[in-house]
């Protein structure tokens, strides 16, 4: 009789939004965990995180703490990953990193299992999870590209504040109260007031005028899709607590009708189509928050180009954009015998 192997699982950033979603997702999907190791900064050392019915003390994330960990899910920011992930890999952990620290390094697979699971085969102990807005986008691009050939992508994002962590959600609520009580909204985490506003940039500016968040989409789409499909993005922060939305214009190599696209998308993994004009039943971030699917709606012809289509894509950035994708990577590695 064969026993299913169980793994020691470390969560680096266990007190954060993504870390907590990671624990929830691993439990929901019954990932075979023998032992949990929650890790965070010295600020949280000794505090407790809930893992189902267990309440486990948080340990300080330092190289010695990685000993014996099989899978390390890392989401404590890019600088923490740069400082600590190499030590974890050296100690034999398989690290699935949610930050941007290593995504574009040639030796690191950048994986969305519905798109490029095969890239896991040559892993060297470190696998990168893409940026949240890239993950939901490529789930939709892949089946359309396979069926029709994509020539160019224009994407505008409407990104929730949860994408900037715990403190950004608190900031949205605090600022909303400030505005409603006639006080000025004071930004501390996000660069501008977000309550009753939108912020037309995310991250830092690059010399070409794009932000690094926007260029991540260009580079990561190319790496995951395995070819440099020209992609241009405008990334915008909106006063939504959770759930990233995207308005996407796709140019194909031939005319593609909305109905043809719908038929392909409804057969594709993880995608749910919500596109009922009569009932106004479309993907809304309020509805999709807390669910796994990538939702597609507003599928329509591009009246400005005979080969174009417009789509509206929404997903929970903490699920497919972070925790779910990371857990799927671990599951896939076990399934493919790569552990």
Site residues (vs ligand NAP, CB under 6 A)? 13-19, 40-41, 43-44, 61, 75-78, 80, 98-99, 132, 162-163, 165-166, 317-318, 321-322
Can 123 be counted among the known catalytic residues? no
**Residue closer to ligand NAP (CB basis): 44 or 328:** 44
Residue with smallest beta-carbon separation from ligand NAP:
16
CB of 159 within 8 A of CB of 237?
Answer: yes
Question: CA torsion sign, 245 to 20 to 213 to 227?
Answer: negative
Can 244 be counted among the known catalytic residues? yes
Distance between CA atoms of 339 and 321, rounded to whole angstroms? 23
CB of 90 within 8 A of CB of 115?
Answer: no
**Residue closer to ligand NAP (CB basis): 175 or 325:** 325
Shortest Å distance, C-beta 177 to ligand NAP: 21
Q: Give the active site residue among 132, 145, 155, 235.
A: 132
**Residue closer to ligand NAP (CB basis): 37 or 132:** 132
Shortest Å distance, C-beta 282 to ligand NAP: 22
Cα dist from 331 to 31, 118, 229, 237, whole Å: 7, 13, 28, 32
**Residue closer to ligand NAP (CB basis): 99 or 211:** 99
Number of helical H runs and strand E runs in the chain: 9, 14
Q: Give the active site residue among 123, 145, 219, 244.
A: 244
DSSP character at residue 129:
P
Shortest Å distance, C-beta 84 to ligand NAP: 7
Q: Nearest 5°: CA angle at 336, between 330 and 339?
A: 55
280: left (phi > 0), else alpha (psi -120 to 50), else beta? left
Q: Concatenated DSSP letters for 16-29?
A: SHHHHHHHHHHHHT
CB of 96 within 8 A of CB of 311?
Answer: no
Shortest Å distance, C-beta 148 to ligand NAP: 29
Shortest Å distance, C-beta 163 to ligand NAP: 4
**Residue closer to ligand NAP (CB basis): 18 or 225:** 18
The residues that are catalytic are: 132, 244
């Amino acid at each position: 009789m064969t026993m299913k192997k169980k793994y020691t699982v470390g969560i680096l950033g266990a007190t954060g939004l993504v870390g907590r979603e990671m624990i929830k997702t691993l439990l929901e999907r019954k990932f075979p965990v023998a032992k949990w190791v929650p890790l965070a900064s010295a600020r949280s050392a000794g505090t407790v995180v809930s893992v189902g019915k267990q309440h486990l003390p948080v340990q300080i994330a330092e190289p010695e703490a990685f000993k014996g960990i099989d899978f390390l899910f890392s989401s404590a920011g890019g600088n923490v990953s740069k400082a600590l992930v190499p030590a974890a890999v050296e100690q034999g952990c398989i690290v699935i990193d949610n930050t941007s620290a290593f995504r574009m390094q040639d030796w690191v697979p950048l994986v969305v299992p519905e798109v490029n699971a095969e890239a896991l085969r040559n892993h060297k102990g470190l696998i990168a999870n893409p940026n949240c807005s890239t993950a939901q986008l490529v789930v939709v691009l892949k089946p359309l590209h396979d069926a029709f050939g994509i020539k160019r992508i224009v994407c505008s994002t409407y990104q929730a504040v949860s994408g900037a962590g715990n403190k950004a959600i608190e900031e949205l609520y605090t600022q909303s109260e400030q505005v409603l009580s006639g006080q000025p909204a004071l930004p501390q985490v996000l660069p501008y007031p977000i309550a009753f506003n939108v912020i037309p940039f995310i991250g830092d500016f690059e010399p070409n005028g794009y932000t690094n968040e926007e260029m991540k989409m260009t580079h990561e789409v190319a790496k995951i899709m395995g070819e440099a499909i020209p992609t241009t993005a405008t990334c915008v922060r909106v006063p939504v607590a959770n759930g990233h939305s995207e308005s996407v214009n796709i140019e194909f190599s031939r005319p593609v009708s909305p109905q043809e696209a719908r038929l392909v998308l409804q057969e594709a993994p993880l995608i749910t189509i919500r596109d009922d004009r009569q009932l106004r039943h479309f993907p809304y971030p309020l509805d999709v928050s807390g669910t796994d699917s990538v939702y597609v709606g507003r599928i329509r012809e591009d009246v400005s180009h005979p080969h174009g289509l417009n789509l509206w894509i929404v997903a929970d950035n903490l699920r497919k954009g972070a925790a779910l994708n990371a857990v799927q990577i671990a599951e896939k590695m076990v399934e493919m015998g790569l552990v």
